[in-house]
Chains A and B, each alone.
Chain A
Amino acid sequence: MPSDVPAEEYLELAGGRVHVLRGGSGEPVLFLHAAGGAGTWSEFHRLLADAGFDVIAPDHPGFAKSDDFPLVEAMDDLVYHYLDVLDALGLERVHLVGASFGGWIAAELAVAASHRLRSLVLMSAPGLRLPGHPVPDIFLMPPERLAETMFHGPPPAAPEGAAPGIDAVLAAYRDSTALARFCWAPYLSNPKLERRLHRIGAPTLVVAPSDDRFIPVAHARRYAELIPGARYTEVADSGHAMYVERPAEFAAVVTSFLHMPEPATSGANR
């Protein structure tokens, strides 16, 4: 499949339709987007696909063009949702790459079903409750502070001209509502996740941006410490908007990990 223009498809699940963008060919990579990244096929996606992977990028329930899935109420439901997605795709095992909120889903999915993963990549994922390294309240941030928080360098300028139209405001509110459904309280975390991470048997890369003002890098380091055999790396001069701010660097780190030969003892035994 071409990698610059993804194919657009919908998966029909019992609870509704999942919108999927898909490009490239090779081993399948399920990419779980960050809270702000639904429905987009960015340079990062293209670079992953160009490196020889079949990149599959669904929108989470309630985000962008996916249906609401009102019965997917919490993180445990999201894990089952993505197991349904894997089944609907007919994929027994995938590389699972999750960024930020998508990284938290990926970690939970890996805890529950490590045997479905060829490998796991967590890109600055929340999900751990580390009171000494608090995550600022994304829901209370005015837009300008949100941009400053997410980018290490100057954030991209807001588009010139008129304020966003009503439909754009409603679409953003829908995404934010879907996010809040899963992470209002406990805030962006599952207090039980830390003690479950030992179950992950898939080869794992934990990657963090050097200057993350949203999810402190202590979170990534803690993931790396608790996931058996996990590798840890940082990408320099980047904020939390990882694959938007430094797409080439993040794509390079992720693809070189995915290209490593699969160890004989990898996750299939879990």
Chain B
Amino acid sequence: MKFSFFHLMPYPYLPDDFDSAYDSSALTYPNANFDPKLGAALYSRYLDELEYADTLGFDGIAVNEHHQSAYGLMPSPNIMAAALTRRTSQARIMVLGNAIGIRGNPLRVAEEIAMLDLLSGGRVDSGFVRGIGWEYFAHSVNPTRSRARFDEAHDLIIRAWTSEELFSWYGENYEYRYVNIWPRPIQTPHPPVYIPGAGSTETMKFCAAHRYTYMSVYAPTRIVRRWFDGYRQAEADLGRAPDPEKIAFSVPVYVADTDERAHAEARPALEWLYHRGLKQTPQMVTPPGYMSPGSLRGVLMSGMHGFRSSSYEDLLAAGQAVVGSPASVAARLRELYDELGGFGQLIGLFAIGPSTHEQVTRSAELFAAEVMPELRPLGVAAGASPA
């Protein structure tokens, strides 16, 4: 099992009347509510936490991209990754990921990831995401083109990384007469790719075909199980035994010395994350054309609903957060490992909503010292030795 410390870099200081006054923490939530001085202090604190996770022995430290939102303060994950390259030495630097569905110029992503790969000495992992619904409003990109733009940007970036000859690109969405990037990445054939999945069978097949890591987004265990099974089936359809390390389970994790203390501290943090940070209208979640008819049908039939109707207890029961003492967290993650049919990577969100720096670092310390060793042997392909 490999473990990463994932950061969303939330802006936790929502006003007291947030629940009644605003229908979302994103897109239309006025940035008058953002205090740049507090924001600067958060950046400094959050980078400290990621750097600390590197020293604790996490295999990866992860950042991601969100726009116009208190949920996550990283419009450019590559800038945060760049800051990490010079202050860390062991962990993979995971950009999970660049939202290539909404980028105007995907070649820029190829260039920036190549830069990060050099700066980090080949430690960068490159996630590609479509960008979530509200971001198609935020960046004025037509969501009906989302899938096509994502696919084409992906193909272009991979070719730009791997080609040692100048080439021209004529696509439906992008045209470049001269593709000839400097620098090229240091990892061969290119940095490992991560793709989040939320039920689309196209994504499962895509990940399997390219041997990319398929990572879950926050959803109840019974649904994530279906996604992981879909990915495993896609691997099997290609005549391969699924490699557990290519399946990554994402989940918020909070560890404290005792169960009692952990729950007391995690409850407000997780309620912030799921009820405020992720508060959005249905129109923001699913702009027109963002989902294929088949995927939308799947979501409707699965009975998934908004996070706001899930209580803290519901979230724990459904495996959408793991909280407790080190022993309880290890036991619960073993349970989830079995319920999900196995996974080889755990992408833990340790800095949850308004958690304090002391809480986050303590949680990460306990996890690294007491949970990781317990789970390390899980999720390793037969015949491979544990990392």
Tell me the A residues contacting B by CB distance below 8 Å: 137, 139-142, 166, 169-170, 173-174, 176-177, 179-181, 184-185
- Residues of A contacting B140 in the complex (Cβ-Cβ under 8 angstroms): 184-185
Q: Mark B110-121, 1 if CB is under 8 A from A, else 0.
A: 000000000000
One of A142, A177, A179 near B282 (C-beta < 8 A)? A142
A170 to B293 alpha-carbon distance, docked (Å): 7
Q: Let me know if B77 is at the binding interface, CB within 8 A.
A: no
One of B142, B284, B297 near A180 (C-beta < 8 A)? B142
Residues B280-298 near A (CB distance < 8 A)? 281-284, 286-289, 291, 293, 296-297
Question: Which B residue sits closest to A183, measured CB to CB?
Answer: B142
- A140-B137, A180-B142 given; name 13 further pairs at CB < 8 Å: A139-B287, A140-B281, A142-B283, A166-B297, A166-B300, A170-B300, A179-B288, A180-B144, A181-B142, A181-B144, A181-B289, A184-B140, A184-B144
Lowest 7 CB-CB distances: which A-B pairs, in order?
A180-B288, A177-B289, A184-B142, A176-B288, A177-B288, A181-B144, A185-B140
- Residues of B contacting A141 in the complex (Cβ-Cβ under 8 angstroms): 283
Given A139-B137, A140-B137, A180-B289, A173-B296 contact (CB < 8 Å): yes
Q: What's the nearest-Cβ distance from chain B to residue A158, in Å? A: 16
A180 to B28 alpha-carbon distance, docked (Å): 20
Q: Let me know if B143 is at the binding interface, CB within 8 A.
A: yes
Q: What's the nearest-Cβ distance from chain B to residue A164, in Å? A: 10
A184 to B28 alpha-carbon distance, docked (Å): 17
Question: Which A residue sits closest to B289, measured CB to CB?
Answer: A177
Q: Is the interface of A mostly helix, strand, loop or mixed?
A: helix
Q: Is the CB of A142 within 8 A of B144?
A: no
- Residues of A contacting B301 in the complex (Cβ-Cβ under 8 angstroms): 166
Q: Is the CB of A139 within 8 A of B283?
A: yes
Given A170-B296, A173-B293, A173-B296, A139-B142 contact (CB < 8 Å): no
Q: Is the CB of B143 within 8 A of A180?
A: yes
Q: Is the CB of A185 within 8 A of B281?
A: no
- Residues of A contacting B288 in the complex (Cβ-Cβ under 8 angstroms): 139, 173, 176-177, 179-180, 184
Q: Mark B143-160, 1 if CB is under 8 A from A, else 0.
A: 110000000000000000
Q: Let me know if B375 is at the binding interface, CB within 8 A.
A: no
A87 to B181 alpha-carbon distance, docked (Å): 49
Q: Let me know if B141 is at the binding interface, CB within 8 A.
A: yes
Given A139-B283, A184-B142, A184-B143, A169-B300 contact (CB < 8 Å): yes
* 17 contacts across the A-B interface (CB closer than 8 A): A139-B283, A139-B287, A139-B288, A140-B283, A169-B296, A170-B293, A170-B297, A173-B288, A174-B293, A176-B288, A177-B144, A180-B288, A181-B289, A184-B140, A184-B142, A185-B140, A185-B141
- Residues of B contacting A140 in the complex (Cβ-Cβ under 8 angstroms): 28, 137, 281, 283-284
A166 to B299 alpha-carbon distance, docked (Å): 10
Tell me the B residues contacting A by CB distance below 8 Å: 28, 136-137, 140-144, 281-284, 286-289, 291, 293, 296-297, 300-301
- Residues of B contacting A173 in the complex (Cβ-Cβ under 8 angstroms): 286, 288, 291, 293, 296
- Residues of A contacting B293 in the complex (Cβ-Cβ under 8 angstroms): 170, 173-174
- Residues of B contacting A142 in the complex (Cβ-Cβ under 8 angstroms): 281-283
Q: What's the nearest-Cβ distance from chain A to residue B149, in Å? A: 12
Q: What's the nearest-Cβ distance from chain A to residue B178, in Å? A: 26
Question: Which A residue sits closest to B134, measured CB to CB?
Answer: A140
A198 to B344 alpha-carbon distance, docked (Å): 65
- Residues of B contacting A169 in the complex (Cβ-Cβ under 8 angstroms): 296, 300
Q: What's the nearest-Cβ distance from chain B to residue A175, in Å? A: 9
Question: Which A residue sits closest to B294, measured CB to CB?
Answer: A170
- Residues of B contacting A180 in the complex (Cβ-Cβ under 8 angstroms): 142-144, 287-289
A140 to B284 alpha-carbon distance, docked (Å): 7
A169 to B286 alpha-carbon distance, docked (Å): 12
- Residues of B contacting A177 in the complex (Cβ-Cβ under 8 angstroms): 144, 288-289
- Residues of A contacting B137 in the complex (Cβ-Cβ under 8 angstroms): 137, 139-140
A179 to B289 alpha-carbon distance, docked (Å): 10
Question: Which A residue sits closest to B172, measured CB to CB?
Answer: A73
A181 to B297 alpha-carbon distance, docked (Å): 20
Question: Which B residue sits closest to A137, measured CB to CB?
Answer: B137
- Residues of B contacting A179 in the complex (Cβ-Cβ under 8 angstroms): 288
Q: What's the nearest-Cβ distance from chain B to residue A170, in Å? A: 6
- Residues of A contacting B291 in the complex (Cβ-Cβ under 8 angstroms): 173
- Residues of A contacting B281 in the complex (Cβ-Cβ under 8 angstroms): 140, 142
- Residues of A contacting B300 in the complex (Cβ-Cβ under 8 angstroms): 166, 169-170
- Residues of A contacting B289 in the complex (Cβ-Cβ under 8 angstroms): 177, 180-181
A140 to B283 alpha-carbon distance, docked (Å): 5
- Residues of B contacting A174 in the complex (Cβ-Cβ under 8 angstroms): 293
Question: Which B residue sits closest to A173, measured CB to CB?
Answer: B296
Q: What's the nearest-Cβ distance from chain B to residue A105, in Å? A: 17
A180 to B289 alpha-carbon distance, docked (Å): 8
Q: What's the nearest-Cβ distance from chain A to residue B300, in Å? A: 5
Q: Which of A170, A173, A179 has the most CB of B within 10 A?
A: A173
- Residues of A contacting B28 in the complex (Cβ-Cβ under 8 angstroms): 140
Question: Which A residue sits closest to B301, measured CB to CB?
Answer: A166
A173 to B301 alpha-carbon distance, docked (Å): 15
- Residues of A contacting B141 in the complex (Cβ-Cβ under 8 angstroms): 184-185
A68 to B283 alpha-carbon distance, docked (Å): 22
Q: What's the nearest-Cβ distance from chain B to residue A270, in Å? A: 32
Q: What's the nearest-Cβ distance from chain B to residue A235, in Å? A: 29
Q: What's the nearest-Cβ distance from chain A to residue B321, in Å? A: 28
- Residues of B contacting A184 in the complex (Cβ-Cβ under 8 angstroms): 136, 140-144, 288
A184 to B297 alpha-carbon distance, docked (Å): 23
A181 to B141 alpha-carbon distance, docked (Å): 11
- Residues of B contacting A181 in the complex (Cβ-Cβ under 8 angstroms): 142, 144, 289
A127 to B300 alpha-carbon distance, docked (Å): 34
